[in-house]
Structure 1
Amino acid sequence: MIRAFGLLLVFLLELAVLAIGARWGWSLNVPTAVRLLAAVGVPLLLAGLWGVLGSPRARVPLRPPAKHAFQAGWFVLGGGMLALLGQPWLGLALVVVWAVVTILLRRAGRPA
């Protein structure tokens, strides 16, 4: 039950990074058409990268250290975008929650 909760939390955090990417794209100081393109394009690019490299069923299988590095980079990017949006503490919380849940899941024998 706790593993299922941890996996659900990691999944929700992954989705949060996509939403953060959309919000970051919309916040750019550029013409509205470019902002709209960024608000749609950034999450699509992130989702594509996750599907190819980061997901449990990724098209490009990475060795565990590389996969862990990619996933860590994913959440650090999300935290960085939150910081750029003026929410550095929320960005830090995103990264810390992901790290703690991931460590607990790995110790329990179930990689995130």
Structure 2
Amino acid sequence: MWKWGNLLASFLAELVALGIFAWWGWSVDGTTLVRLLLAIGLPAITAVVWGLFAAPTAKRTTPAVRTVVKVLVFGLAGAALWSLGHPVSAVVFVVLVAANLLIIHRQGLSPDR
């Protein structure tokens, strides 16, 4: 139960990060077309990069690359949330994600182990 709960929390954190990128893209000053492209494009690019390098089934990755991609995605999502005017939520998000990733790694659930 604990194992699946942590893996579910990790997946939900990934979805929240994609949502934050979409929200940030839509909030950028610019034309509706630019905002729409950012709101769709940023999450799409993030999902592709995640799938190639950070997903548990990623074939073209190493533990170092997987770690860098995760830190960048979650760190940038936290920074985007902060820039949207939600600094407390940004800190809580990053801390919870870090704790979850640490638990997953320590339990041996990470594909890096």
Which residue does 2:72 correspond to in 1? 73
TM-score (structure 1 length as normaliser) = 0.92
Residues 51 and 59, structure 1, Cα contact 8 Å, conserved in 2: no
Q: Which runs of 4+ in 1 moved over 2 A?
A: none
- Stretches of structure 2 that go unaligned for 5 or more consecutive residues are none
Residues 56 and 110, structure 2, Cα contact 8 Å, conserved in 1: no
- Write the letter of the residue equivalent to 1:4: W
- Write the letter of the residue equivalent to 1:100: A
Which residue does 2:3 correspond to in 1? 3
- Write the letter of the residue equivalent to 1:102: L
Query: For 2:49 and 2:12, how far apart are their aligned partners in 1?
Result: 17
* Identity among equivalent pairs (%): 36
Which residue does 1:54 correspond to in 2? 54
Query: For 1:105 and 1:51, how far apart are their aligned partners in 2?
Result: 18
TM-score (structure 2 length as normaliser) = 0.91
**Deviation readout 1:55-108 (Å, 9 max, x if unpaired):** 11114122x133122212211011011011111111111111011111112222
Which residue does 2:85 correspond to in 1? 86
The 5 Å alignment of 1:99-110 reads 99-110=98-109
Residues 53 and 65, structure 2, Cα contact 8 Å, conserved in 1: no
- Write the letter of the residue equivalent to 2:110: P
- Stretches of structure 1 that go unaligned for 5 or more consecutive residues are none
Report the number of matched residues: 111
* SS of aligned partner of 1:72: helix
Question: Superposition RMSD on alpha carbons, in Å?
Answer: 1.3
